[in-house]
Amino acid sequence: MKKIIIVVIIFVVITFFVIDKKKDQTPYEDLPVGLVTNDEKRAVFISYIELQEYIKGLDKNQSQNNIKAMLDNIQNNNFNMILLHVRPFSDAIYNSTIFPSSSYITNSEGEKLEYDILQFFIDEAHKRNIELHAWINPYRIRSTTDVDSISTSNPAYKLLNTNHVKVINDQGIYYNPASIEVRNLIVSGIVEIVNNYDVDGIHFDDYFYPDDTIDLDNYQDYINNGGTLTLSDYRLNNVTLLLKEVYDAIKKSDPDVLFGISPSGNINNNYEINYLDINKILSVSGYVDYIMPQIYFGFDHELLPFMETVYMWNSLIKVDNIKIYPALGIYKANTVDTLAKNGSEEWLLDNDIITKQVIVSRRLNHYDGFAIFRYSYLFNQEYLKDNQNLQKEVSNLLTLIK
């Protein structure tokens, strides 16, 4: 497996430096801005944190007015797509027969919804010509180890103390990616959404393999039954199987619904930590319609500078109809990025990083848009009021896309 990764990395690096080398070396400050077109996806993540901020504890009228205001902000600033967190923790913000209501919108998990929040978001988004992609964490059940918080109506409840679910110290509670039962559960949940709601897409983020012990019993059974894959390849295959089954199920229910994922922006981490075989899923049709790598790095990041990283991601795509929407981390404005090493103070010293990242991304041959993580850093005054660098980042970006 390591040899394969090395070959992939070498190929990517060669591709990056050989193909259109002269153009790629153009300083980002000298690049043309590029035109904003209706075809460009300009997306905003709306996470469970926003749902908690704008919906939880409010009556129906207040929460619906907040949703309308959020979508007005998005529309009025020329964004045209949202990634809405509909299932963050083996739960739902919609009427589901499989998953309980989310405690991030109700007082407690499983409480009856006052109204179907996903349906209301869809109706209001489509009125404003905004695409809605239903964002799901496939394996995450909890970000804490508190099993008592799992309601009896949660499918994870009956799987506690089995091989299908694991409590991971200091990390949370997760479904086992090696479990066929888990895979079937996740696919069923996707089909339920696509069959019942007029969503434009289904979206997974980077929470894939939770740790290095969750599937050891499964792997031993696999070896005992004649399996020959290494443990690393076995894990990569488990995630690939899930993506394939989800993709096929979506297209069977509605061929027009897109499927995309937001993997870690660090290519190596996808192989070594999350066990996502990005080279495979971007080289063959039938796994994803778009890739949205979380390239939350500045231009001066010592290990993963933005320009080189986004071009590497673009070069991995070998299928014409797979598009790239770089996910950009505006939340980093006015912070010290210690992982960037010598570039750690870039987000303190510069305030048009995101704008330049959009300009750079528009030059990618597989480019179809970008996404901003996340809504509150764009429009919530509590986030903006004491952060002049963030205010300027937002102002520069909105000026560019208008």
Whether omega before 142 lies within 30 degrees of 0, making that bond cis, reads no
Complete edge-to-edge strand list for the sheet that includes strand 140-142: 140-142, 172-175, 165-168
Read off the pLDDT of residues 216-245 as tens digits, 9 standing for 90 and up. Answer: 999 999 999 999 999 999 999 999 999 999
Maximum pairwise Cα distance, the chain:
61
Residue 4: strand, helix, or coil: helix
pLDDT for 148 equals 97
Phi then psi dihedrals of residue 82, to 5 deg: -125, 150
Pair 67, 123: CB distance under 8 Å: no
For helices 2-18 and 306-316, the axis angle rounded to 10 degrees is 110
Higher pLDDT, 150 or 32: 150
> What is the Cα gyration radius of the chain?
21
pLDDT for 208 equals 85
What residue type is assigned to position 156 of the chain?
A
Q: Vertex 232, ends 242 and 181: CA angle to 5°?
A: 35
Read off the pLDDT of residues 165-219 as tens digits, 9 standing for 90 and up. Answer: 999 999 999 999 999 999 999 999 999 999 999 999 999 998 889 999 999 999 9
Tokens of 249: 């199920």
What residues are paired with 293 via a beta bridge?
none
Phi then psi dihedrals of residue 284, to 5 deg: -135, 140
* Domains (range + CATH), the chain: 2-401 (3.20.20.80)
pLDDT for 19 equals 39
Question: What is the total residue count of the chain?
Answer: 402
Closest by CA position to 383, among listed 87, 77, 143, 49? 49
Q: d(Cα 38, Cα 329) in Å, to the nearest integer?
A: 23
Bridge pairing between strands 165-168 and 172-175: antiparallel
Q: d(Cα 170, Cα 177) in Å, to the nearest integer?
A: 19
> If you average pLDDT over residues 262-284, what whole number do you get?
97
Phi then psi dihedrals of residue 349, to 5 deg: -90, -20
Closest by CA position to 245, among listed 324, 187, 296? 187
- Confidence check: pLDDT of 16 > 90: no
Q: Which sign, positive or negative, has the C-alpha torsion 295, 301, 302, 308?
A: positive
Read off the pLDDT of residues 66-124 as tens digits, 9 standing for 90 and up. Answer: 999 999 999 999 999 999 999 999 999 999 999 999 999 999 999 999 999 999 999 99
pTM to 2 decimal places: 0.93
pLDDT for 2 equals 47
pLDDT for 112 equals 97
Closest by CA position to 309, among listed 322, 331, 330, 324? 324
pLDDT band at residue 24, thresholds of 50, 70 and 90?
Answer: very low
Pair 50, 382: CB distance under 8 Å: no
